[in-house]
Amino acid sequence: MKYFSQIPLIGIIRGAETDTVEGAVTAALAGGLRTLEITLNRPEAFEQIEKIRNRFSDDMELGAGTVLDKDSAEQAIDAGAEFIVSPAVLPDVIEYCQARSIPVFPGALSPTEVLSAYRAGAEMVKVFPIGVLGPDYIRSLKGPFPQIPVMPTGGVTLESVGDYFKAGADAIGVGGELFSRKWLAEKEWGSVEKAANAYVQAVRESR
């Protein structure tokens, strides 16, 4: 994941209609964001992944989020997903992704879950939802687990990006702050592009 290694930020597009997804991706790319995730909250999500993958090809890295079982992971990967994100530690999903050589980012919150996800084969552990705990929690996790790559997700604001990286975060995941329901509904692509650029710059400055 070359783009993700350069800018460790995943933009999360959740539950959007297909034409909206295409507009959102175009705006995010214009803002400099190259790693995006489409969540599987709609039946047409697999079709969306395939369309975006075919249209933008080598310009980005595209993953599937809210993956809850092996079958969904298989469908998403077959549609073109290059990485898989789940909201919990799901051994069957992790095992399947390992077999397909696909990076997997399981969601975890407690120290036990974080360690279990890592031992199961997680490329990086999505610490979720982080907004209720904040950067200090990441710092606390990194005490006993300095070797575990973590990606706080769910409530990372533009103002807190630097604090998360200072606390030891290896990446961040951002959804509603980048792709607000209002912006998507009203197709305010300029706002999406501006937010994407602001987050990209904040990540660059924080590393």
Identify the band that residue 203 occupies on the pLDDT scale cut at 50, 70 and 90.
very high
137: nearest Cα among 157, 155, 152, 115: 152
> Is residue 105 pLDDT above 90, yes or no?
yes
Query: How many structural domains is the chain composed of?
Result: 1
The proportion of the chain whose per-residue pLDDT surpasses 70, expressed as a percent, equals 100
Q: Quote the pLDDT of residue 57.
A: 83
Please, which pLDDT band fits residue 26 given cuts at 50, 70 and 90? very high
- pLDDT score of 207 more than 90: no
Question: Of residues 17, 126, 188, 193, which has the active-site annotation?
Answer: 126
Which residues make beta-bridge pairs with 36? 11, 62
State the DSSP code for 148.
S
155 closest CA partner among 136, 182, 126, 134: 134
pTM over 0.85: yes
- Give me 40's structure tokens: 């599987």
Alpha helices in the chain (DSSP H): 2-6, 18-30, 45-56, 70-79, 91-99, 111-120, 135-142, 161-166, 181-185, 189-206
Q: Which helix (H) or strand (E) holds 107?
A: strand 107-108
Residues 170-196 have pLDDT tens digits of: 999 999 999 999 999 999 999 999 999
Catalytic-residue membership of 44: no
The one catalytic residue in 37, 82, 123, 193 is 37
Mean pLDDT over the full length of the chain: 97
pLDDT value at 111 more than 90:
yes
Please give the backbone phi and psi of residue 167, each rounded to the nearest 5 degrees, phi first: -80, -10
**The domain that contains 153 carries what CATH number?**
3.20.20.70
- Tell me the average pLDDT across 23-35: 98
User: Is 37 in the active site?
Assistant: yes
| Domain boundaries, position 120 | 2-206
* pLDDT beyond 90 at 58: no
